[in-house]
Structure 1
Amino acid sequence: MTVAGLLRKAVTFEIGMWCSLWRWVRRRPDVPAGADAFPYASAVTPVLWTFIVLSAVEIPLVDWLLPWQSLRIALLVVGVYGLLWMIGLLASMEVYPHSVGDHGLRVRSGFAVDVRVPWEEIVAVRARRRSVEGSRTVVVEESGERRAVSVTVMSSTQVDVELRTPLVLPLARTRGRPVTELRLAADDPAALVRRLRAGLADHAARTDAARVDAARADAAAPADGDAR
């Protein structure tokens, strides 16, 4: 990645962190109107809170131990920024949950991942706990012609979403290659699966009703000869 790309990524992350903190303080999660939210951060929350508390204790301790004023001020700035960074990371996972609404599934991981999958692209969904190698949030796995993308929390996922046709997702890790399955973490995978299956059933019913209405409209329309 170029220097310009790294700077752009850093600025984007900085803006995302502060926006997350603002939403968290105001208790305004990013969930579309009428959609159901499904959190995913419970596994990592205790870890983040541990680091937050330790950092909060470390800031005044370092200030008390160091005799040099200029160094104390510099480390105070760094310590406060690091503390806000960790709180912002936790906030981003709280205010950007997964959501399911009229248009389908929206998969999030803080402000860094935002993937929308419409109902017509989902063919099946199941609860299945998987361990994923590595510590990356987004992991791509390939097996023959199939390619699965995992959006993980603590190197694991709990829900598999099988796609009807290979789909290109807005994730840099896929490098523009279509995927056939999306796997994600969820605090309550059973509830998310139930909601997705209900949404799929509703979408199928609406689609069938629309086809029937269209067929009736075609049958009721006058033929060209009759219209003349």
Structure 2
Amino acid sequence: MRTFFLLVRHELRLLVSIGLWVARRPNGIGTGTGFGYARGQGTMLLGFGFVIVIESIMMSVLLRNHPAVQRAWFTVDVYTLVLIVGMHAASVVRPHVLDAGFLRVRRAAHVDLRIPLEKIARARRELRTTHEKAEGELNLAIGSQTTVTLELTEPVAHFTFLGRRQDIRLVRFHADDADSLVKAITRARTAPSPIPDPTG
């Protein structure tokens, strides 16, 4: 039952993301700065969508003598296509966010990891196209690649899609402009703290 609820919530977020994308309204940036990552998957998702359209046409021809099955198959294909669009929309409207005190690393509607800046030991630009699962590491590849690596001073809690907790010490993720993001993180981490007003 919990898994069903999580799946429904995720799909609702994808549908809402389509509306935000059409309205050009990013989600959750607030006073921070957004850094996109969707360009790396646009072509791949377009290819998936094209395959779904071709499949739908072919199955409509093959099932022309079975109208009930034909309609059911067409409905499933349309909904799958909507979810693919929703995945891309969620990636566009939910960018990574760098704000005062934290970095928010996101992927579409199912990953949203808030990392305090003081827990980032090092941020570097690193292009990787292969990722092996390892304890304490989180790899958020887009188009099979990551471009930013964060080493943390202590673990942060990450909860998987199904709610399982993982303690993460190293995060790899993709950003369209990785250089700018790494520089921004470095500046934010090394910014001097405001000097208290002695008269306050």
* TM superposition score normalised by structure 1: 0.76
Counterpart check, 1:187 vs 2:184: no
Alignment of 1:9-24 (within 5 A): 9-24=6-21
**Residues paired across the two proteins, number:** 199
Which of the numbers 114, 126, 129 marks the counterpart of 1:128? Answer: 126
Of structures 1 and 2, the one scoring higher in RCO (CA 8 A, sep 6+) is: 2
1:170 to 1:74, Cα distance in 2 relative to 1, 3 A = closer
Q: Which residue of 1 aligns with 2:156?
A: 167
Same amino acid, percent of matched pairs: 26
Match of 1:59 in 2: 56
- CA distance 1:33–1:10, shift in 2 (3 Å): closer
Higher mean C-alpha displacement, 49-58 vs 36-45: 49-58
2:158 maps to 1:156: no
- Contact 1:104/1:199 (CA < 8 Å) preserved in 2? no
Query: Any idea what the Cα deviations from partners look like across 1:134-159, whole Å, max 9, x if unmatched?
Result: 6xxxx5x23xxxx3222222333211
Cα RMSD for the two superposed structures: 2.5
Structure 2 counterparts to residues 20-31 of structure 1, below 5 A = 20-31=17-28
Q: Distance in 1 between matches of 2:57 and 2:101?
A: 49
Q: CA–CA distance in 1 between the matches of 2:165 and 2:60?
A: 48
Give the counterpart letter for 2:159 in structure 1: P
Question: Following the alignment from structure 1 to structure 2, what is the Cα–Cα distance between the partners of residues 33 and 175?
Answer: 28
Distance 1:130 1:104 in 2: 24
Which structure's CA Rg is the greater one? 1
Distance in 2, Cα, partners of 1:85 & 1:47: 14
For 2:16, give the aligned amino acid.
C
1:100 corresponds to which residue? 98
Q: 2:149–2:171: 8 Å Cα contact kept in structure 1? A: yes
Shift of residue 125 of structure 1? 0.9
- Secondary structure (helix, strand or coil) at the match of 1:82 reads helix
Q: 1:174 to 1:121 in 2, by over 3 A?
A: farther
Q: Please state which structure has a larger fraction of its residues in helix.
A: 1
Partners of 1:62 and 1:178 in 2: CA distance: 45
1: CA distance, partners of 2:70 / 2:139: 43
- TM-score, with structure 2 as normaliser: 0.86
Give the C-alpha shift of residue 61 in structure 1. Answer: 4.7
Among 107, 110, 113, the residue aligned to 1:112: 110
CA contact under 8 A between 2:140 and 2:146: conserved in structure 1?
Answer: yes
* Cα 1:173/1:88, change in 2 over 3 Å: closer
5+ residue gaps in structure 2? none
Q: In structure 1, how many angstroms separate the alpha carbons of the residues matched to 2:75 and 2:177? A: 39
Matched to 2:65, the amino acid is: P
Question: Cα distance 1:172–1:12, how it changes in 2: closer, same or farther (>3 A)?
Answer: closer
Indicate the residue corresponding to 2:185 in structure 1: 196
**CA distance change for structure 1 residues 177 and 69 in 2, over 3 Å: closer, same or farther?**
closer
What secondary structure does 2:137 align onto? strand
State the Cα deviation string for residues 67-100 of structure 1 (Å, max 9, x = none): 3322222122112111111111111111111111
2:6 and 2:162 in contact (8 A); partners too: no
9 and 132 in structure 1: CA distance in 2 versus 1, 3 angstrom threshold: farther
Report the CA distance shift for 1:174/1:129 in structure 2 as closer, same or farther (over 3 A). farther
